[in-house]
Amino acid sequence: MPRYITSHNMACLTRQGARELAATMRSSPGAEFLRLLGNMTDGQLLAEFEVPSREVLQQWLEKLGIHYQWMARMDFEATREGFGDL
């Protein structure tokens, strides 16, 4: 299934708020939430999902009232273990 990454501005979101956002993403059907990465200094979040299409993810985020700055499909992944297609 295609993998997407989204970028979000945290504005005044606290760690507790980010924890609650992650819990909402985990429990909401319609998209497979994989992880949330946050930077408190710069106020940025990156979220990773597996979904059938960009449109499905856009609709899911809209339904949850989650705004994003950008969204991109990921085609490959490189880790310490190697390189491969997603």
pLDDT digits (tens, 9 = 90+) for 10-22: 888 899 999 999 9
Q: pLDDT band at 27, cuts 50/70/90? A: very high
Contact 10, 43 (CB under 8 A): yes
Q: CA-CA distance, 47 to 68, in Å (whole number)?
A: 10
Q: CA-CA distance, 86 to 67, in Å (whole number)?
A: 25
Nearest to 5 by CA among 66, 82, 72: 72
SS3 13: coil
φ, ψ for residue 22, nearest 5 deg: -60, -40
Q: What's the whole-number mean pLDDT along residues 71-79?
A: 96
